[in-house]
Structure 1
Amino acid sequence: MVNMVVDIIVPVYNVSKYLNKCIESLLAQTYKYIKIILVDDGSTDGSEKICDNYARIDDRINVIHKENGGLVSAWTMGIKNSKSEWVVFVDGDDWVEYKHIELLVKEQIESSADIVVTRMKQIDKGNEKFIEFCVPEGRYIGEKLKTELHPVMINAGGFERRGVPFSRCSKLIRKSIIIRNLKYSYEKATYEEDFNIIAPCLMDAKAISMLKVEGAAYCYRKVESSMLHGYDRNMSNSIYHIYPILLKACKSKNMGGFVRQIQFEYVSAVVRLFLNETKNSEGYINMSRIIKKYLTDRLFQQSLEIVDARMYPVKFRIILYFLKHYDSFMSKIIIKLICLIRRQGINHA
C-alpha cells in the first residue's frame, strides 16, 4: 500500500470525559502514516491538558490551542494547519474502529475517489446501531456518479433521507476540495454546520466511494446534552444563512440539478426548527415570529411550493399544509399542532 499520510483533525471542546478513548482509538490505528491535529477550542474542563499530555508522548500529535469560537472555527483551524492532501475528521467525544484509516486509504487507492464514505455506528447508552446508507455500497464514478448518485445525493426522496451522510466524519476527503469550498462555510452555524461544507464538496467530487466493510466504522456517541436534546438558540440563524449559501453554491458550480434536493432539505430543516422552538421558554411569541420570518422569505416560499408533502411523515404533512395555507388564525393552529407533535416525540416520525 502506498504510504499516503492522512491528517486526522479532532476539534476538542470540554470533552475530557471521552477524549482519552478518542485519542487512543487513533493511536491504535493499523495504518501508521497519520498526523493527529488536536484543536482545543478554549476548553475549561481539562481537555486542553489531556491534549498536551498526548502530544508529549507521540510526535505524530500536534496541538493547537485557540479561543473558543465554535465547532466550525475549530475544524477550519485544523484544515489550515494540515500539511497532507488527505484528511479525516473525528470529533473529540467519538472514536473510530481500529482499521478505520487503513480501509479508507485502501479504498481510495483502488478507486481513485475524491471522497470515501464509511458507515457510522451510533452508540446510545451502550446500545449500538449502524446508520445504513440510503444508496448501495459501491464506487460512483463518471456516468454512474451522475445518473445513480447525484439524483439522490443531497436528498433521496424523504424527510432527512440523505443519499450520502452529511457528517464531516466517517469520510476520507481530498483536502483541496475542502479548501476550495471553505468560502461557503458559515462559521457561526450550530445546526447543519457539516452539511454546509460537505454538500459543496460532494458537488465537486469526481468520484465518491461508499464503503461498507468490517472494522472501518466511525463510532458516534449520542450525548444527552447535545443539540438534539436541548434547545438550540442559534438554530434559526444557522438555517437562515446556510440554505441561501448552498443554493448560491449550486448556481456558481452550474449544479442546478441539486437545487430541488436542497430546497427539500431547507423545508425539512425549518420543520425541525419549529420543533426546536417548543423547548424555548418564550414559546408562542418566538415561534410566531419565526413562522412569519420564513413565510416572508422568498427562497423559503419557493422551496415550500416545490416540496411534495407526501414524502414527509403524516404528522409533518399537516404542518406543511398549514404553512402553505397560512394566515393569522392558522398560526395558532400550527403552533398548537407542533407542540402536540413534540410531546409525542419526534424520533418516531
Structure 2
Amino acid sequence: MISIIVPVYNVENYLGKCLDSLINQTYKDIEIICINDGSTDNSLNILREYEQIDSRIIIIDQKNGGLSDARNIGLKEAAGEYIMFVDSDDWIDLETCQKALEAMLKYSTDIVMWSYIREYENKSLPKSIFDNNIYFDKKDTVNKIYRRLFGLYKEELSQPENADALVTVWGKLYKSELILKNNIRFIDTKKIGTCEDALFNMEVFKNVKSSYFINSCFYHYRKINTSVTSRYREDLYIKWDNLYELMNKQIEDNDLGLIFNEALSNRIALNMIDLGLNVTYSNKNTRDNCYELKKILKNSKVSKAVKNIDLQYFPIHWKIFFYFIKRNRIFPVYMMLIIMNKLRGII
C-alpha cells in the first residue's frame, strides 16, 4: 500500500482538484492521509465531503502547527509500505502511483523520482531535471543526487534555476522503512526559514542503496502569486544562516569532502537572489533596502561564498548580477532584483 500524505491549509479553491487526482489513481491500494492544519476556510468541509465518497481518505484535524508538523503527523499515521507526499494545492497524473511503484519494484530501489510541471494561471511549463530514465546505484545516488541537495557543482551552474529541482519531497516515492527505521522527520521552519524538504531528503538519501529517476512530468506544481515566497520575512537571512550550519554539520559528520563543501558554498551564493528578492518585498524605501542588502553581503558565509563562486558556467544575466555583487555594487544589484521581481509576475 502507498500512503499519500497531504497537508491541508486554506486551499478551498484547489483542494478538490488535488483529491480528485488521488482518489482516481489507476493503482488502487492507497491511503490518503489529509492533515487539516487549522484551516480557517472551507477546506475541512471539503475533506469531509470527499471522505464520504472514498473510504481511503483519512482526516486528521489539528490546530495550525505548520507544514513540517503536518507532514510529521502524516508520517506517524502512515501504514503503507511506501510513502508519497502531495501538496494540497497541487495534483498528480492518474497513473503516477502505478508507474512509480512499477519502477521501484522492477529496479529494487529505495526511492523513485520524477519531474514536474509548473502550473501558472495561463500556462504550463515542464521542468527538465535529467534527459532520460536513469538508475542510480549507491555511488551515483551519493554523488549525483545526495550531493546536489547541498548545491550545484561545476557545469550544473549553467542552469542555476535548477538548483532545487531535486530538493522537494513531492515528486518522489519512498520506501517507508527507509524513513521510519532511521527516524527521519521534518524540522520546524521557524528555525531555518525554508528548505525543510532539503534537510529531510539529505537524511533520507544518505541511507539510500539505489534510486531511480523517471523522465516524465507526473506532478503538477501550482504557482500561485500569493505564495509565501513573495511575503517579506525580516529574519530570513538569519534563519538561513542556521540552515547552512545544519547542512555544514552533515558534511562534517559524514566526512563528505570538498565537492560537497563547494556545492554548499554555491548554494549560499545563489541564495543571494532569494534573499535579495525578499528585501524587495518589504515596504521600506530604496535606501533602507540597499542598506539591508549590504548587511546581508557582510555576513561571513555569504561574502565568502560570493567571492568563491565560479562565474564561467553562468548564463550572461547571472554573470552580470554576480559581477555587481562581487564588487559590492549594491544599487545595480537592487535594481536588477526589482526587475526580477516584476518579471516573476509575468514569466
**Shorter chain as normaliser: what TM range?**
0.7 to 0.9
Q: Is the Cα contact below 8 Å between 1:135 and 1:163 reproduced in 2? A: no
Percent identity of equivalent pairs: 25
SS at 2:174 equivalent: strand
Q: Is the Cα contact below 8 Å between 1:239 and 1:270 reproduced in 2? A: no
Q: Match for 1:69: what amino acid?
A: G
Q: Is the Cα contact below 8 Å between 2:131 and 2:215 reproduced in 1? A: no
Q: Does 1:123 align with 2:119?
A: yes
SS at 2:63 equivalent: coil
2:83 corresponds, among 56, 71, 87, to 87
For residue 260 of structure 2, what is the aligned residue in structure 1? Answer: 258
SS at 1:173 equivalent: strand
1:309 shift after superposition: 2.3
For residue 157 of structure 1, what is the aligned residue in structure 2? Answer: 157
> What is the root-mean-square deviation in Å for CA atoms of aligned residues?
2.9
Distance 1:293 1:148 in 2: 30
For residue 8 of structure 1, what is the aligned residue in structure 2? Answer: 4
TM-score (norm 1): 0.85
1:109-148 aligned at under 5 Å gives the runs 109-134=105-130, 136-145=132-141
For residue 212 of structure 2, what is the aligned residue in structure 1? Answer: 209
For residue 339 of structure 1, what is the aligned residue in structure 2? Answer: 338
Q: Unaligned stretches of 5+ in structure 1?
A: none
1:172 shift after superposition: 0.3
Q: Match for 1:35: what amino acid?
A: E
1:46 shift after superposition: 1.0
Deviates most, 201-210 or 5-14: 201-210
Q: Match for 1:208: what amino acid?
A: S
For residue 33 of structure 2, what is the aligned residue in structure 1? Answer: 37
**Offset from partner CA, 1:23-74 (integer Å, 9 cap, x none):** 1111101111111110111101010122223234433221111221222222
Distance 1:165 1:203 in 2: 14
Q: Match for 1:320: what amino acid?
A: F
1:68 corresponds, among 44, 64, 70, to 64
Q: Match for 2:12: what amino acid?
A: S
**Offset from partner CA, 1:196-243 (integer Å, 9 cap, x none):** 322443333221211124xx7111112121135454556434422222
SS at 1:204 equivalent: coil
Q: Match for 1:266: what amino acid?
A: I
* Structure 1 residues 347 and 210, CA gap change in structure 2 (3 angstroms): farther
Distance 2:336 2:17 in 1: 42
Instruction: Provide the aligned length of Structure 1 versus Structure 2.
Output: 338
Q: Unaligned stretches of 5+ in structure 2?
A: none
Q: Match for 2:60: what amino acid?
A: I
Q: Is the Cα contact below 8 Å between 2:265 and 2:305 reproduced in 1? A: yes
For residue 187 of structure 2, what is the aligned residue in structure 1? Answer: 185
Deviates most, 101-110 or 126-135: 126-135
Q: Does 1:104 align with 2:100?
A: yes
